[in-house]
Amino acid sequence: MRKFSLSSILLLCLAILVVDILAFYWLQSITQLVDKPLFTKIINIAFWTFTIGLISSIVILKLKLDAIAPLLKQQLISTFYGLAISSFIPKLIFVIIITILYASNYVFSASESVIIVPIVGLLSGVLPFLVIAYGIFRTVYRFKVHHVTISSQKVPPNFHNFKIVQISDLHLGSFMYRFKILKRAVKLINDLEPDLIVFTGDLVNNYAWELRGWQRVFRNLSATSGKFAILGNHDYGDYSQWKSPEDKKANLVAIKQFYEDIGFQLLLNSTVYVSKNNDEIAIIGVENWGKPPFKQYGDLNKAMKNMRSVPFKILLSHDPSHWPEEVIQDTDIDLTLSGHTHGMQAGIQFKTRQWSPIKYKYEHWAGLYKKGEQYLYVNRGLGWLGFPGRLGMRPEITKLHLQRI
């Protein structure tokens, strides 16, 4: 998780305060309908106690951040991030809706305005709060298996119905060593009976210490033809301050060692071949490649250098921005598997239609895309980062079926 400057934190707190002042102003139009002064006083005290407490806690946390133990720091950041989102967004919607209603109160009669406007305004704040709370406490760990078929005449005969399970963006530090949660995901994956398991980056938030104890969970993942992984942007430690370059390097070495400990082959701008009877496919893995400000460690040319001729090629590349920039049309790679976006952990999905604010940053942000005969699949992530919830964008396990046509 990236660090924010004190000025950025103070601007955030100012925004929270401004929205809360406006929300409190409009709240009076609702509480005045209740002829119970004590009840109104309790509501007002509770409102400002929460606001002042939240803002004070955010500022104090920022000032004392470096002195806090790493695990506790992560817990506190996630807690206050969740509180800020679940408070700020509903109040902002409440302020916007009720302001519009009062600004256009000529639509209602005076008697209607007194009743309808406060009720609609209140619902506009309560409903988003309930949705966000549901995303934090219910859907954040409701894993969903997406079944995807990749049809191509280039799939070798012996790889027809070959099963690949993709997982991505675990961000293990966010799980706070709650091993039972991901044991459920491991069981779901193994029940799919995969031939191949691939992990497309962001194992941690920043630090190798986040991996303590997780070996015994992920060693249980089983695939008949191998398990492969790549690094994501968070795995390099670029979002942390280090005492020395050696400390940062040691952190990365420990993360790489974790993959070896759990039986995954980490692909660092390299290619491996998976064989089945007399046929084979290529698995190409690049280090993280992203548009600035993300660093470009990935080297696709290096990964494909001296590559032998195989009919079907699969690329593991963490950031889906890589696909239009270097993959489609410039290579004969058939399928690219990415993650990174998390689907913003918030969106709307209905049958084949989906929408998320992340689409305004990433052209390819969730699900299957096709250009000519080349495919890209973007996994929505299994973990979470920052906001400790998921709204309409459940954590994903992807099962891809290769089919020869």
- Encode pLDDT of 95-141 as tens digits: 898 888 777 665 556 565 566 666 777 788 888 999 999 999 999 99
- From CA 308, how far away is CA 60, in angstroms rounded? 57
18-27: long-range contacts at Cβ-Cβ below 8 A with a sequence spacing of 24 or more?
A: 19/88, 19/91, 19/92, 19/95, 20/47, 20/51, 20/91, 22/95, 22/99, 23/91, 23/94, 23/95, 23/125, 24/48, 26/94, 26/95, 26/98, 26/99, 26/102, 26/121
What confidence score (pLDDT) does residue 67 get?
Answer: 76
Cis omega before residue 311 (within 30°)?
Answer: no
What confidence score (pLDDT) does residue 252 get?
Answer: 98
Ranking 3-7, 101-105, 137-141, 209-213 by mean pLDDT, the lowest is 101-105
Instruction: Name the band, by pLDDT with cuts 50, 70 and 90, for residue 71.
Output: confident
What confidence score (pLDDT) does residue 106 get?
Answer: 55
What confidence score (pLDDT) does residue 50 get?
Answer: 93
Amino acid letter, 363: E
Q: What is the pLDDT of residues 274-309, one digit of tens each?
A: 999 999 999 999 999 998 888 999 999 999 999 999
Higher pLDDT, residue 352 or 393: 393
What confidence score (pLDDT) does residue 235 get?
Answer: 98
**What residue has token string 């709370």?**
133
Ranking 28-37, 284-293, 336-345 by mean pLDDT, the lowest is 28-37
Higher pLDDT, residue 5 or 169: 169
Mutual orientation of helices 6-31 and 37-64 as an angle, nearest 10°? 170
Domains and CATH numbers, the chain: 6-137 (no CATH), 144-404 (3.60.21)
N- to C-terminal Cα separation, the chain: 44
Q: How high does pLDDT run on average in the chain?
A: 92
- From CA 253, how far away is CA 101, in angstroms rounded? 58
Q: What is the pLDDT of residues 215-267, one digit of tens each?
A: 999 999 999 999 999 999 999 999 988 999 999 999 999 999 999 999 999 99
Q: Is the pLDDT of residue 383 over 70?
A: yes
